[in-house]
């Protein structure tokens, strides 16, 4: 036992060497919230049943492991305190039931791995299968259950002694084996959940926690293992290799180069290789480039930052910060896709990705605030609503609604520039800071009590990146507020069409707003609504996030087209969304799939405007 525990200590010390060499990241405070998260997601396994069979099997294995851990420790202590393993009849009965269920669970898990072979276990980008390792671990767990039973029911003292030594030897070997492969998560997953972020997932980490001055940083982003923070590496160590992240990833579904699962596996393999348990640490200059060779730029640029991978992960792995950090390095290294160079240059020169002069901003019908002016509600349009002709219709519709409701609203007009949301998530931190400073300077010269925007990306930037004193609302939230105050006399639409709501990623998953748009939709008298199978926190990204309106990633089929397939399956005739990116991308998908006359795409503000009798209602053909 001394030898095994000593070996385990040395092994863990070597495995944690990389975390000690990594960048700092504060993950302290809010201990009550962290403990609750650990109990619900960690010990409670709340995310596992989302995949019913596999989830329940894992819950059984985890619960059995926890119940039997007391027994395992008592068996190790038995030679020192004879009889300590006999804890009592109630526990013995529960333990035997748990052991039987664990054996059944191991058999089902092995059968699924070897025979059923779900696609999510076998990533198309993988070069190595972990099936043999998984079956070996399941076999070892089964052996522990059988040895434990033999100790209880062996009969003769000789059989009991053999079972005792077999169980304890296997258990100590099992503990020392875990850090060598993907099952290291058995040790790291619970700490990873405990230290997971308590912030909204729309919040992006700064380039550095140790240096707040961006201009003072010698290097930006992540180019090697040691550039990651210790928590980002703990994420990598904690990967369960279940494939849920990639199974929910719209980029992976579209057959792009990206697989969130492989980002974990390739980084973990590199960590194990260059920080081995036995042998010398490989100097960075003697390794393959982490970003560029191990993880390719095409993988990183394929991400829409929708957050579906994070929402699906049973151990709360945070992907987006790592992706943004690696993009920061690519941008700093001058490695930006050709299709993004023009909109990025336009953002820097004109303050919008369209490259248009400020005087060509569309008129929303809301008065423009001059310096020193005041209003109750500042309408922040952001670039899409200011310069895209189709999206301007949404802004105009919302402006008319504000006027009808008697809202004292105003805009920044020509002084407003892009919120910088996409620039930051594409790794252009310096450009984001410049855009933010321009907007903050313009806001400081006006007075207002709250901000409203029709763009969830702008909402996310203003709310989570700008550190404003005033509250920031999405227009779905503001419309719900106006309805609750009785300021919008909605009328029946007078059609027999079915409506479904497409949840924008930065409104739903990243800012946890699902109720407001549905409250507005359901407030229209007589409307018939249906939900898509992939909705709310499991919504499927349209594919337009992270400036993908301007950047065409390599894929077999566009994400927007896949989303319209889901719309058709739901039986809906109209897709209501609340994001200009989603509106544009889904309309394009309707055209490329020949569905423009079958499925209408409309913004929530336009639908409310229609219900107020401001526009004509199309009839179902």
Express each pLDDT in 21-53 by its tens digit: 999 999 998 999 999 999 999 999 999 998 999
* Average of per-residue pLDDT values in the chain: 93
Return the pLDDT at 426: 92
Model pLDDT, residue 615: 60
Segment 408-450, tens digit of pLDDT: 999 999 999 999 999 999 999 999 999 999 999 999 999 999 9
| Residue 379 dihedral angles phi and psi, to the nearest 5° | -90, 105
pLDDT at 617: 54
Compute CA 155 distance to the chain's CA centroid, rounded to the nearest angstrom: 53
Averaged pLDDT for residues 330-347:
91
Element (H, E) at 350: helix 338-350
Q: Are 295 and 267 in contact (CB under 8 A)?
A: yes
pLDDT number for residue 339: 87
Range 549-570 burial, b when 16+ CB lie within 10 A, else e: bbbebebeebbbbbbbebbeeb
Q: Pull the structure tokens for residue 203.
A: 């919040």
Per-residue model confidence (pLDDT) at position 618: 56
Global confidence as pTM: 0.94
Q: Is the pLDDT of residue 513 over 60?
A: yes
**Measured between alpha carbons, how far is residue 406 from residues 95, 147, 398, 614 in Å?**
67, 76, 12, 16
Does the structure show a pLDDT above 80 at 621?
Answer: no
Query: CB–CB of 556/524 below 8 Å?
Result: no
Question: Would you say residue 274 has pLDDT above 50?
Answer: yes
Task: For residues 312-327, give the mean pLDDT.
Answer: 97
> What's phi and psi for 157, nearest 5 deg?
-65, -35
Interval 348-367 mean pLDDT: 93
* Between 546 and 280, residue with greater pLDDT: 280
Q: Is the pLDDT of residue 290 over 70?
A: yes
Q: Given pLDDT bands bounded at 50, 70 and 90, which one contains residue 68?
A: confident
619 falls in which pLDDT band (50, 70, 90)?
A: low
C-alpha distances out from residue 18 to 187, 272, 316, 321, Å: 16, 9, 21, 19
Name 421's Cβ contacts closer than 8 Å, sequence gap at least 6.
382, 432, 457, 458, 460, 461, 465, 506
Spatial separation of the C-alpha atoms in residues 126 and 132, rounded to whole Å: 15
157 — pLDDT class (breaks 50, 70, 90) = confident
Both tokens of 207, joined, read 């380039």
Domains of the chain: 2-191 (1.20.950), 214-332 (1.10.1060), 346-482 (3.40.50), 491-611 (3.40.50)
Tell me: pLDDT of 160 over 70. Answer: yes
E strand intervals along 344-502: 377-379, 409-410, 450-453, 472-474, 498-501
pLDDT of residue 214: 93
Q: Are 610 and 507 in contact (CB under 8 A)?
A: no
pLDDT at residue 551, as a whole number: 77
How confident is the model at residue 548, as a pLDDT? Answer: 75
For the residues 465-489, what does the mean pLDDT come to?
A: 97
What is the average pLDDT across 232-260? 96
Lowest mean pLDDT among 60-74, 102-116, 482-496: 60-74
As a whole number of angstroms, the distance between CA 615 and CA 621 comes to 18
pLDDT of 525 > 70? The answer is yes
Tens digit of each residue's pLDDT (9 = 90 or more) over 291-304: 999 999 999 999 99
């Amino acid at each position: 036992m001394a030898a095994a525990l000593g070996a385990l200590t040395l092994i863990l010390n070597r495995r944690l060497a990389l975390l000690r060499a990594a960048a700092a990241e504060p993950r302290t405070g809010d201990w009550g919230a962290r403990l609750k998260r650990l109990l619900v997601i960690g010990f409670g396994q709340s995310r596992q049943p989302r995949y019913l069979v596999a989830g329940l099997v894992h819950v059984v294995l985890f619960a059995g492991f926890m119940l039997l851990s007391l027994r395992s420790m008592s068996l190790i202590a038995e030679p020192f305190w004879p009889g300590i393993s006999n804890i009592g009849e109630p526990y013995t009965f529960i333990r035997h039931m748990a052991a039987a269920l664990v054996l059944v669970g191991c058999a089902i898990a092995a059968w699924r791995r070897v025979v059923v072979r779900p696609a999510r276990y076998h990533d198309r980008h993988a070069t190595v299968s972990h099936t043999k390792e998984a079956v070996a671990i399941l076999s070892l767990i089964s052996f522990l259950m059988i040895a434990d039973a033999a100790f209880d029911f062996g009969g003769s003292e000789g059989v009991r002694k053999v079972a005792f030594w077999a169980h304890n030897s296997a258990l100590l070997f099992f503990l020392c084996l875990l850090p060598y492969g993907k099952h290291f998560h058995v040790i790291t997953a619970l700490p990873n959940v405990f230290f997971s972020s308590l912030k909204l997932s729309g919040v992006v980490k700064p380039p550095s926690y140790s240096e707040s001055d961006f201009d003072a940083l010698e290097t930006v982003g992540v180019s090697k293992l040691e550039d990651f923070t210790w928590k980002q590496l703990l994420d990598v160590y904690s990967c369960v290799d279940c494939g849920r992240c990639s199974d929910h990833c719209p980029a992976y579904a579209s057959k792009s180069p990206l697989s969130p699962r492989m980002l974990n596996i390739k980084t973990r393999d590199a960590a194990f290789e260059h920080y081995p348990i036995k042998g010398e640490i490989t100097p960075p200059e003697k390794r393959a480039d982490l970003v560029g060779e191990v993880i390719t730029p095409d993988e990183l640029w394929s991400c829409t930052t929708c957050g579906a991978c994070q929402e699906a992960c049973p151990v709360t792995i945070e992907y987006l910060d790592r992706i943004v950090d690696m993009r920061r390095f690519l941008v700093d290294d001058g490695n930006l896709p050709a299709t993004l160079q023009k909109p990025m240059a336009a953002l820097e020169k004109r303050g919008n990705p369209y490259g248009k002069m400020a005087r060509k901003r569309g008129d929303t019908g809301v008065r423009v605030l001059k310096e020193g002016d005041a209003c109750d509600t500042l309408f922040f349009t952001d670039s899409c609503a200011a310069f895209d002709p189709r999206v301007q219709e949404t802004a105009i519709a919302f402006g008319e609604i504000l006027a009808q409701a008697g809202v004292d609203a105003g805009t920044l007009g020509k002084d407003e520039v892009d919120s910088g949301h996409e620039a930051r998530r594409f790794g252009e931190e310096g450009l984001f800071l410049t855009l933010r400073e321009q907007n903050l300077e313009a806001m400081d010269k006006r007075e207002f009590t709250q901000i409203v925007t029709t763009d969830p990306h702008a909402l996310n930037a203003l709310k989570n990146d700008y550190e404003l004193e005033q509250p920031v609302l999405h227009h779905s939230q503001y419309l719900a507020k106006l309805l609750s105050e009785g300021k919008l006399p909605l009328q029946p639409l007078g059609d027999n069409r079915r409506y479904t709501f497409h949840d924008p990623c930065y409104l739903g998953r990243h800012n946890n707003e699902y109720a407001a748009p549905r409250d507005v939709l359901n407030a229209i008298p007589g409307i018939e609504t249906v939900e898509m199978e992939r909705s709310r926190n499991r919504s499927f990204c349209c594919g337009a996030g992270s400036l993908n309106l301007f950047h065409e990633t390599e894929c077999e089929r566009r994400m927007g087209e896949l989303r319209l397939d889901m719309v058709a399956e739901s039986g809906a005739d109209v897709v209501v969304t609340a994001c200009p990116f989603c509106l544009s991308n889904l309309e394009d998908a309707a055209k490329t799939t020949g569905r423009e006359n079958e499925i209408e795409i409309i913004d929530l503000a336009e639908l409310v405007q229609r219900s107020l009798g401001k526009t004509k209602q199309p009839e179902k053909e």
